[in-house]
Amino acid sequence: LQDAELAARILLDQGQEHSIETPHGVLHVTLHGTRTTRRPAILTFHDVGLDSKSCFSPLFKFEEMQEIVKNFTLIHIDAPGQEEGAAAYPAGYAIICVFVALNFRTVIGVGVGAGAYILSKFAVSLANPDSVEGLVLVNIDTNARGWIDWAAQKLSSVTSSLTEQILSHLFSQEELSSNTDLVQSHRERISKASNLVNIELLWKTYNSRRDLNIERNNTFKCPVMLVVGDQAPYEDAAVECNSKMDPTTTSFLKMADAGGLPQLTQPAKLTEAFKYFIQGMGYSKFAALLSRKKQAKLVSSAGPTSSILLLKRVFNLRLKTLPNRCVIVFLLSFA
């Protein structure tokens, strides 16, 4: 029994890496945990300038989060050519983000920045909306770039390096001015990346995205949790998105002192929010597996002042009747 538990822990920590050939390039996928179709898989998609490891490792390796996600299958998807050590694509190659057949009935999507946009488009464009049970969207911007934004981006591309442009997308001005350790580590990682050409392709593709045309009553068919730092670059965009969402199925978390990447700077507090989110979806049995001792530790780590400034609603939804199987196959570009 101890050997089995050890093997399960290794699988959860290290995961199984797969490289999947597609007509649009090689897709790198990492699966963690025990594969099961009885519960939704947790599917993540990273932001520009990050891969699944640099975007999500601090959150999903956080002890209390592991106690939750060990009951699900965790799937990290890297956009084509974005994983560490990926070969550079030839000039003129267009990045297209691909969802392949993973043979799960349903998923709970967790996306950051560009990944939040991709998962949102995946959910609203899906023929079978019941395939997405919930979405956690960090730093979401559902709007296309306007003319002013386009002009500013063109000017920035002339006056700033690609690395600095992406850093201003990822981090708050306060973090950049303070040149925090996190900013420094990502500056070094991006500037020395062997796949910098691929990162630039994804950056240009994201900046040419189209408006998702969010409407209150007929866009998302699942519960959504919006998360943003109180000084994040996309704070205003997230607030605007929240104003367009159905308030009965949307929660909005504005996190103080979280900077541009709350999943990296405050994994404990985001874990607490995620726990309540999946409890509201009907998975309280798995979220409640945290012992009282661990819950007390989690609360104490949040400090005397909670970072969650606004939690509009904690869901209390019953599980929908699910189809026997829904193989998720989806080809998605930003266009």
For 142-189, write each residue's pLDDT tens digit. Answer: 998 765 665 666 666 656 799 999 999 999 999 999 999 999 999 999
What are the φ and ψ backbone dihedral angles of 137, each rounded to 5 degrees?
-115, 110
Residue 308 pLDDT > 80, yes or no? no
Percent of the chain with pLDDT over 90: 42
| pLDDT band, residue 287 (cuts 50/70/90) | low
- How confident is the model at residue 298, as a pLDDT? 43
- How confident is the model at residue 74, as a pLDDT? 92
Residue 60 pLDDT > 80, yes or no? yes
Structure tokens at 103: 């043979």
- How confident is the model at residue 19, as a pLDDT? 74
The H or E element containing residue 18 is strand 16-22
Cα-Cα-Cα-Cα torsion 99, 102, 107, 112, nearest 10 degrees, comes to -40
Residue 102 pLDDT > 90, yes or no? no
- How confident is the model at residue 128, as a pLDDT? 67
Highest mean pLDDT among 146-155, 301-310, 314-323: 146-155
Residue 127 pLDDT > 80, yes or no? no
E strand map for 104-192: 107-112, 132-138
| pLDDT band, residue 70 (cuts 50/70/90) | confident
**Contact 174/231 with Cβ under 8 angstroms?**
yes
- How confident is the model at residue 177, as a pLDDT? 93
Rounded average pLDDT over 191-219: 88
| pLDDT band, residue 25 (cuts 50/70/90) | low
Fold topology of 2-332: Rossmann fold (3.40.50)
Rounded average pLDDT over 56-74: 91
Question: Do the bridges between strand 132-138 and strand 107-112 make them parallel or antiparallel, or are there none, so unpaired?
Answer: parallel
E strand map for 123-201: 132-138
Residue 225 pLDDT > 70, yes or no? yes
Q: How many CB atoms are closer than 10 A to CB 208? A: 14
Residue 327 pLDDT > 80, yes or no? no
- How confident is the model at residue 112, as a pLDDT? 97
Q: Bigger pLDDT: 57 or 217?
A: 57
- How confident is the model at residue 122, as a pLDDT? 86
pTM comes to 0.80
| pLDDT band, residue 130 (cuts 50/70/90) | confident
Tell me what the pLDDT averaged over the chain comes to: 77
**Contact 24/98 with Cβ under 8 angstroms?**
yes
Lowest mean pLDDT among 117-126, 132-141, 160-169, 180-189: 117-126
**Cα(145)–Cα(334) distance, rounded to whole angstroms?**
12
Concatenate the DSSP letters of all residues of 190-258 into one string.
HHT-TTHHHHHHHHHHHHTPPP----TTTS--S-EEEEEETT-TTHHHHHHHHHHS-TTSEEEEEETT-
Residue 49 pLDDT > 80, yes or no? yes
Domain boundaries, the chain: 2-332
- How confident is the model at residue 16, as a pLDDT? 80
